[in-house]
């Protein structure tokens, strides 16, 4: 879908590095979505320490991941990488027996040119478990782009749609067997095949790893418009990956999945629906409308549904209306969050973002422009790959009521009298769809409500708690 962006919309690009979480942290939420998966991160002890801290809060959930730690012998090519990875994968198979093992390549594997893609096919035939390779190094990718590389790699493993009027079900089931083509026939027969819904004439696959409780909401909203979601990428189980092909429509739920979208279009020949992202009532409504438009369906009761949600947010809107916010740039959700907050009545001084694919986010940018016009304010400046030093200077001059920052800049900004909210919290929170709009504003207003409470108590000199 082609969407024209106004020529008045300008982008600035600075020369800053990615001041974000390492993208290997995507393991923290992907393992929860893909229940029968196991992640093996190939990196150094530093990577292990990082994941140990990042996943430390989830220790009771038993995160399914392991570290293949590279020693000096690995880096100097004195050890056999294949044998070491084989030993680790056999141990994983013995202890966990997952349906798929996902190798996460870190920056060290890039530097020493470790051929993970070459070793994976041979090893998966030996151990009889699919192995997917995804590069998630912090040299090339920002925080949430680790998820993007995993989903793009997984898209290649989705069964292929082979449409035939007489034998459609037979061909589709045959394509599912390609997922397990390396397994013995006896094992292959034991695999439970997903039921093909013959009434779903035009398949729609949504991509983005939302928790099951959240994913059910957009599916329900679309079903109210007579649209059935035929599958999700990733699926809750690897064995239930959606069927892809030239007759399949796909639509993303997150703005940082541009590589996955490109893979689905170019390699799997799917039809991409260019839509804003379902964050906030306005974004959710626009997302549903674009999907309905692609299917030639006129929406029913969507405007009333959006209005009901806005009414339920009235208390939050009264608190943030007229307040200013500054996005430093961290998780690539900044454009969508800024658009929603502008619609809520906030003033956005600047939108910093580590990376942005203007084609994939074209619909979101167009909606942002429409929102600014509706609210009678100019479009905020968008700074890609911001230089942190210059950005901090701008923020100190503007003195916003709230700054949404990476964790590294939060405490220094608080010490200088600027309220902050960690951007990573929006990554892990449930923020998609109509019903979760409240959770977005709950996060945004928490620092403001905290300060109001302190002022009412006369404790303005207290050290601000996070």
The number of residues making up the chain comes to: 466
Taking only the tens of pLDDT, the chain with its 466 residues reads 444 444 467 788 887 666 777 888 888 888 888 999 999 989 888 888 788 776 665 554 566 787 887 766 555 555 678 888 999 999 999 999 999 999 998 888 888 788 899 999 999 999 999 999 998 887 778 888 899 999 999 999 999 876 544 444 444 444 444 444 444 434 333 333 333 333 347 899 999 999 888 999 999 999 999 999 999 999 999 999 999 999 999 999 999 999 999 999 999 999 999 999 999 999 999 999 999 999 999 999 999 999 999 999 999 999 999 999 999 988 999 999 999 999 999 999 999 999 889 999 999 999 999 999 999 999 999 999 898 888 999 999 999 999 999 888 888 888 888 999 999 899 988 999 999 999 999 999 998 887 776 655 555 554 444 4
Please report whether residue 4 resides in a domain.
no
CB atoms within 10 A of CB 293: 14
Q: How far apart are CA 1 and CA 258, in angstroms?
A: 14
Residue 38: domain span: 23-141
In a shared domain, residues 252 and 328: no
Same-domain status, 309 and 283? no
Domain count, the chain: 3
What proportion of the chain, given as a percentage, has pLDDT over 70?
A: 82
CA-closest candidate to residue 242, choices 215, 220, 223 = 215
pLDDT tens for 54-70 read 666 555 456 678 788 77
**Domain annotation covers residue 77:** yes
| Token output for 5 | 């962006």
> Do 383 and 433 share a domain, yes or no?
yes
Q: Count other Cβ atoms within 10 Å, centred on residue 112.
A: 13
Query: Is residue 306 located within the same domain as residue 393?
Result: yes
Task: Rounding to the nearest 10 degrees, give the CA dihedral for residues 333, 339, 343, 346.
Answer: 80
* Cis previous bond, 234, omega within 30: yes
CA distance 113 to 225: 49
201 plus 324 within the same structural domain:
no
pTM (predicted TM-score)? 0.85
Whether 313 and 274 map to the same domain: the answer is no
Tell me: do 54 and 94 sit in the same domain.
yes
Same domain for 288 and 318, yes or no, is no
One domain for residues 322 and 448: yes
Q: Establish if 186 belongs to a structural domain.
A: no
Query: Is the Cβ–Cβ distance between 347 and 419 less than 8 Å?
Result: no
In this structure, what CATH number is given to the domain that contains residue 252?
A: 3.40.50.1980
Q: Are residues 265 and 307 in the same domain?
A: no
Same domain flag for 392 and 411: yes
Give yes or no: residues 265 and 333 share one domain: no
């Amino acid at each position: 879908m082609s969407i024209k962006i106004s020529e008045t919309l300008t982008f600035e690009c600075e020369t800053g590095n990615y001041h974000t979480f390492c993208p290997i942290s995507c393991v923290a939420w992907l393992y929860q979505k893909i229940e029968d998966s196991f992640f093996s991160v190939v990196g150094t002890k530093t990577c292990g320490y990082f994941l140990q801290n990042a996943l430390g809060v989830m220790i009771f959930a038993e995160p399914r991941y392991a570290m293949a730690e590279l020693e000096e012998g690995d880096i100097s090519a004195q050890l056999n990488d294949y044998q070491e990875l084989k030993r680790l994968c056999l141990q994983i198979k013995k202890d966990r027996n997952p349906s798929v093992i996902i190798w996460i390549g870190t920056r060290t594997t890039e530097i020493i040119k470790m051929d993970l893609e070459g070793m994976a096919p041979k090893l998966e035939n030996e151990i009889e478990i699919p192995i997917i390779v995804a590069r998630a190094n912090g040299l090339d990718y920002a925080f949430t782009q680790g998820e993007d590389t995993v989903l793009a790699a997984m898209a290649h493993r989705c069964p292929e749609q082979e449409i035939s009027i007489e034998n459609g079900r037979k061909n589709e089931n045959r394509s599912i067997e390609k997922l397990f083509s390396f397994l013995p026939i006896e094992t292959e027969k034991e695999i439970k095949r997903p039921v093909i819904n013959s009434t779903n004439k035009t398949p729609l696959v949504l991509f983005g790893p939302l928790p099951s409780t959240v994913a059910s909401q957009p599916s329900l909203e679309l079903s109210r418009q007579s649209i059935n979601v035929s599958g999700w990428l990733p699926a809750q189980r690897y064995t239930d990956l959606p069927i892809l092909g030239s007759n399949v429509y796909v639509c993303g739920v997150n703005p940082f999945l541009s590589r996955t979208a490109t893979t689905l279009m170019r390699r799997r020949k799917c039809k991409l629906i260019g839509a804003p992202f379902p964050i906030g009532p306005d974004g959710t409504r626009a997302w549903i409308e674009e999907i309905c438009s692609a299917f030639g369906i006129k929406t029913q009761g969507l405007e009333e549904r959006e209005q009901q949600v806005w009414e339920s947010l009235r208390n939050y809107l009264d608190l943030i209306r007229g307040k200013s916010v500054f996005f430093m740039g961290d998780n690539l959700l900044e454009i969508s969050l800024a658009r929603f907050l502008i619609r809520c009545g906030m003033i956005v001084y600047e939108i910093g973002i580590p990376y942005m694919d203007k084609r994939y986010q074209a619909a979101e940018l167009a909606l942002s422009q429409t929102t600014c016009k509706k609210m009678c304010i100019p479009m905020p400046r968008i700074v890609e790959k911001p230089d942190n030093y210059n950005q901090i200077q701008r923020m100190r001059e503007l003195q916003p009521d709230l700054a949404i920052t990476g964790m590294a800049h939060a405490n220094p900004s608080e010490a200088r009298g600027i309220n902050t909210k960690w951007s990573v919290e929006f990554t892990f929170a449930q923020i998609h769809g109509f019903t979760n709009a409240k959770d977005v504003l709950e996060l945004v207003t928490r620092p403001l409500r905290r300060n109001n409470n302190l002022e009412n108590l006369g404790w303005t000199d207290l050290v601000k708690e996070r």
